[in-house]
Amino acid sequence: MGASVTRQLIESHVVGGTPAPGEEIALRVDQTLAQDATGTLVMQELEAIGLDRARTEVSVQYVDHNLLQADERNAEDHAFLRSAARRYGLWFSKPGNGVSHPTHMQRFGVPGRTLVGSDSHTCAAGSLGMLAIGVGGLEVALAIAGRPLYLRTPRVFGVRLVGRLGPWVSAKDVILEMLRRHGVNGGLDTVIEYYGPGLAGLSAMDRHVIANMGAELGATSTVFPSDAAVREFLRAEGREDDFVELAAAEDAEYDLTDEIDLGAVEPLIARPSSPGNVVPVREVAGEPVSQVVIGSSANPGTRDFAIAAAMVAGRQTHDGVSFDVNPTSRQILQDLTRMGATFDLIAAGARIHQAGCMGCIGMGQAPAVGQNSLRTFPRNFPGRSGTREDAVWLCSPETAAASALTGEITDPRDLADLSYPELALPARSSVNTAMLERPPPADEARDEKLVKGPNISALPDFEPLPDAVDAPVLLKMGDDVSTDEISPAGARALPFRSNIPKLAEFTFGGVDEGYPRRAAERGAHVVVAGRNYGQGSSREHAAITPRYLGLVAVVAKSFARIHWQNLANFGVVPLEFADPDDYDAVDPDDTLRLANLREALSSGAELEVINLGKDTPLRVRHRLSARQVDTILAGGAIAGLAHRPAREEPS
């Protein structure tokens, strides 16, 4: 049996363990990326490690999240990140240079390499035939320091593409079709690998759209082969020399399979408030729309903006609609401006914003309560827009632009007076690296001082795990709780991403605002959740801030991968109900007795917990590796880093 691209990538990078599904392996990391909302912790972790200089082939610190600068905190974060990038030998992508994922793909991505990034959409680089995995910031810091990435070996989910997309249907509709079929849990513990004749009609940036939102299926990553489309992309970026061909063996086998006929895909849209609520656009056509936003890493390419520009060119968007355009990078905005698309968008009434994540992470562009906002973004979890009772829908640029013209949700195929535009995209992109600062040479870098404004707090110290604790259940949650609900995105909380004590006041803000106060009163405690707990973004803050407030363990039906790893990294025990029905046997304010905890974790995967509230035993289990158990017993990885800098630095 021949190897899939995914298996080839794993085989060429494994440095420990046996790559069999479910087994923990260690992978060599070639490249890393961080963005600012997670990166300030990465840099503080590098400082705790005592790193001298990055040991990867390429490491980049992007600034794309905290761009509003409503007060001095954002600017202080940026100054800190720049100084730390220079000190530790990372590239620095200035505020306004663009969203990490498309920028990284354009300037740094190389087929066949591994990439880890402290952003859940890092997987977008799978479009170039990379194995690109979103992780918590600590994993990125360790990778920068030359340590391997530890990972539970995923299964490979092969999706065969046949046919060609019709007019008005684009890559976004393909990934929405995947979400329609498989839901937000459909990719758990898998790498989704696309193959087949349908690939020929998808550009590398189209594949980015599909790979990016693999995160919404819960997949560990998404992988495409590196073929002619990738070569063409790298040529347009002036980097054809970086091209490496990568293809699955003819007889490659997959652990799971599916097939999509691209010609049968129609315009789709995710209803509020989950990327999994996908329906055909025609099913909801006519709903009034007050905002339309184009942009984000889920539709980042020149083509995605150009198609919208061509649709609105010479027309006016609807009076009742705010039509917002977020260029994903400076380079892409430069291309769009050169080809006239920026002009067409402005003339049609667009609000053109600076290049960055913007509304996608709730930094501005919040809609009015209950008013429909159509976005080409990857996520619409409740409140992520910055508005508590929001109504955010996810769709393609074609559907978004059509709806901006009519003022109501519109299938672009139903626009009577518009024929499908022919786009003339530039064969060469602008290639502008001037907002990417190259790190100084090592000897010069050693003189670089870290610039720490008052908002950059020290990393908190955590105690080792207690051996026994009677812990009240402070929260009981349902399925699919996102990290947006645990540690909110948005303009109120994000500026405190470098300040754990302050950020902790927002913990579980999307679930129960009383949690921080109760945690302060009750001390050590647990929370209970349903399936897929911690889906969404990679922010380790969703583990650190509840830990800071006394969280000892989470008992859930199942966990999303990155958050599960973050909990372990910060000393919180992620436990699963051995019998999911036991979820119903625990109520808020019950107290769980965790006894003999240290030995129980070390000695086996199952342990017993007593629900003192009901006086009943409860069987729970963990999926931690021995390495992870050690980390938890020590109180998390930061404690280890801070106290043993020399050992953490590989020779």
> Which of 202, 189, 197, 379 has its CA nearest to residue 303?
202
Find out whether 615 and 592 touch, Cβ atoms under 8 Å: no
Give dist(CA 122, CA 137) in Å, integer: 12
- 363 interacts with a copy of itself by CB under 8 A: yes
Give dist(CA 544, CA 419) in Å, integer: 52
Give dist(CA 409, CA 422) in Å, integer: 23
Segment near a copy of itself (CB under 8 A); pick from 9-17, 67-75, 499-507, 543-551: 67-75
Rg (CA), the chain: 24
- 239 interacts with a copy of itself by CB under 8 A: no
Q: 158 vs 300, which CB is nearer to a copy of itself?
A: 300
> Which of 410, 560, 426 has its CA nearest to residue 486?
560
DSSP per-residue letters across 130-196: -EEEE--HHHHHHHHTTPPEEEEPPEEEEEEEES---TT--HHHHHHHHHHHH-TTTTBTEEEEEES
Give dist(CA 651, CA 647) in Å, integer: 9
Give dist(CA 528, CA 587) in Å, integer: 9
Shortest approach of a copy of itself to residue 340 CB, angstroms? 9
- 352 interacts with a copy of itself by CB under 8 A: yes
Q: 368 vs 610, which CB is nearer to a copy of itself?
A: 368
- Of positions 278, 366, 400, 511, contacts a copy of itself by CB under 8 A: 366
Largest CA distance in the chain: 71
Shortest approach of a copy of itself to residue 374 CB, angstroms? 14
Q: 277 vs 371, which CB is nearer to a copy of itself?
A: 371
Give dist(CA 37, CA 58) in Å, integer: 20
Neighbour count for residue 520 (Cβ, 10 Å): 12
Give dist(CA 153, CA 135) in Å, integer: 14
- Of positions 1, 434, 581, 615, contacts a copy of itself by CB under 8 A: 434
- 439 interacts with a copy of itself by CB under 8 A: no
- 330 interacts with a copy of itself by CB under 8 A: yes
Secondary structure of 425-461 as H, E, C letters? CCCCCCCCCCCEECCCCHHHHCCCCCCCCCCCCCCCC
CB half-sphere exposure, 86, CA atoms < 13 A:
17
- Of positions 102, 367, 382, 397, contacts a copy of itself by CB under 8 A: 367
Find out whether 287 and 408 touch, Cβ atoms under 8 Å: yes
Shortest approach of a copy of itself to residue 638 CB, angstroms? 26
- 425 interacts with a copy of itself by CB under 8 A: no
- 237 interacts with a copy of itself by CB under 8 A: no
Query: Containing H/E element for 302?
Result: helix 302-312
Size of the site for a copy of itself (CB under 8 A): 62
Which residues, numbered 80-109, are part of the site for a copy of itself (CB under 8 A)? 82, 94-96
**Kind of pairing, strands 256-261 and 155-162?**
parallel
- 350 interacts with a copy of itself by CB under 8 A: yes
Cis peptide before 273 (omega within 30 of 0): yes
Q: Cβ contacts of residue 43 below 8 Å, gap of 6+?
A: 61, 80, 81, 84, 85, 88, 450
Segment near a copy of itself (CB under 8 A); pick from 49-57, 320-328, 498-506, 520-528: 320-328
Q: 339 vs 572, which CB is nearer to a copy of itself?
A: 339
Segment near a copy of itself (CB under 8 A); pick from 116-124, 255-263, 346-354, 579-587: 346-354
- Of positions 2, 15, 70, 616, contacts a copy of itself by CB under 8 A: 70
Shortest approach of a copy of itself to residue 308 CB, angstroms? 16
Find out whether 36 and 79 touch, Cβ atoms under 8 Å: no
Neighbour count for residue 619 (Cβ, 10 Å): 13
- 347 interacts with a copy of itself by CB under 8 A: yes
- 338 interacts with a copy of itself by CB under 8 A: yes
- Of positions 196, 280, 421, 453, contacts a copy of itself by CB under 8 A: 453
Find out whether 186 and 179 touch, Cβ atoms under 8 Å: yes
Q: Cβ contacts of residue 517 below 8 Å, gap of 6+?
A: none
> Which of 142, 154, 152, 162 has its CA nearest to residue 45?
142
Segment near a copy of itself (CB under 8 A); pick from 34-42, 353-361, 614-622, 629-637: 353-361
Give dist(CA 570, CA 540) in Å, integer: 8
Strand partners, 451: none
Give dist(CA 282, CA 30) in Å, integer: 44
Q: 294 vs 562, which CB is nearer to a copy of itself?
A: 294
- 314 interacts with a copy of itself by CB under 8 A: no
Segment near a copy of itself (CB under 8 A); pick from 35-43, 431-439, 504-512, 525-533: 431-439
Segment near a copy of itself (CB under 8 A); pick from 222-230, 427-435, 512-520, 612-620: 427-435
- 510 interacts with a copy of itself by CB under 8 A: no
- 490 interacts with a copy of itself by CB under 8 A: yes
Shortest approach of a copy of itself to residue 545 CB, angstroms? 21
Q: 347 vs 610, which CB is nearer to a copy of itself?
A: 347
- Of positions 64, 76, 227, 398, contacts a copy of itself by CB under 8 A: 76
Segment near a copy of itself (CB under 8 A); pick from 61-69, 395-403, 590-598, 600-608: 61-69
Shortest approach of a copy of itself to residue 394 CB, angstroms? 19
- 342 interacts with a copy of itself by CB under 8 A: yes
- 166 interacts with a copy of itself by CB under 8 A: no
Q: Dihedral of CA 135/635/37/370: which sign?
A: positive
- 447 interacts with a copy of itself by CB under 8 A: no
- Of positions 3, 14, 26, 68, contacts a copy of itself by CB under 8 A: 68
Which residues, numbered 248-307, are part of the site for a copy of itself (CB under 8 A)? 290-291
- 79 interacts with a copy of itself by CB under 8 A: yes
Contacts to a copy of itself by CB under 8 A: 67-72, 74-76, 78-79, 82, 94-96, 290-291, 316, 319-320, 322, 324, 330, 333-334, 337-338, 342-343, 346-355, 359, 363-369, 371, 386-388, 390, 430, 432, 434-435, 437, 453-454, 490-492
